[in-house]
């Protein structure tokens, strides 16, 4: 009986810890969204693991925190995006957590005549638990669903620009 109570107690603690980890992981997702949507590379940097790897569609892997942050600096100099990530399932396994999501992003491409591009797709984040117990983004892997074939880019009024002759 006593052993059974100890086992139930340990399982209860493990469940509470897992629930706390799930909440912590989701808070990192929310903080990342806020940082991305305000083009705040420094805030993104506080959320990214030192050994981070980003798998960007159609590009070589971006390896290491410094390279990831450099890619955001370059992106935000050319594009201001509004990202919405809908959290799916979060799985915790030891010091790693996997979050599957769907996302939509509306990018305003900067220039003399700003254009708007809508992107959507699926995403998998991997988070790594740090020595202090916090979670950081360690992997970001996503795909992009092809834009509408008749209008891959829109003008600032969210209309297809007329074909130039």
pLDDT band at 5 (very low <50, low <70, confident <90, very high): very low
- Identify the CATH class of 2-155: alpha beta
pLDDT of residue 164: 43
- The mean-pLDDT minimum among 57-71, 100-114, 144-158 falls in 144-158
Q: Please tell me the distance from the alpha carbon of residue 18 to that of residue 95, in angstroms, as a whole number.
A: 11
Write the CB contacts of 98 (distance below 8 Å, at least 6 apart in sequence). 90, 91, 124, 125, 126, 127
pLDDT tops 90 at residue 125: yes
Whole-number pLDDT of residue 62: 97
Residue 145, pLDDT score? 84
**Over residues 101-123, mean pLDDT:** 89
């Amino acid at each position: 009986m006593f052993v059974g109570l100890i086992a139930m107690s340990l399982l209860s603690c493990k469940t509470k810890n897992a629930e706390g980890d799930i909440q912590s992981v989701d808070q990192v997702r929310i903080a990342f969204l806020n940082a991305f949507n305000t083009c705040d590379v420094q805030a993104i940097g506080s959320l990214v693991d030192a050994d981070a790897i980003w798998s960007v569609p159609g590009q070589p892997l971006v390896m290491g925190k410094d390279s990831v942050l450099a890619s955001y600096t370059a992106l935000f100099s050319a594009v201001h995006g509004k990202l919405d990530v809908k959290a799916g399932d979060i799985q915790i396994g030891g010091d790693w957590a996997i979050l599957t999501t769907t996302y939509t992003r509306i990018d305003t491409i900067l220039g003399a005549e700003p254009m708007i591009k809508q992107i959507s797709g699926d995403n998998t984040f991997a988070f790594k638990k740090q020595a202090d117990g916090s979670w950081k983004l360690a992997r970001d892997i996503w795909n992009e669903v092809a834009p509408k074939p008749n209008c891959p880019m829109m003008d600032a009024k969210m209309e297809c620009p007329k074909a130039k002759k």
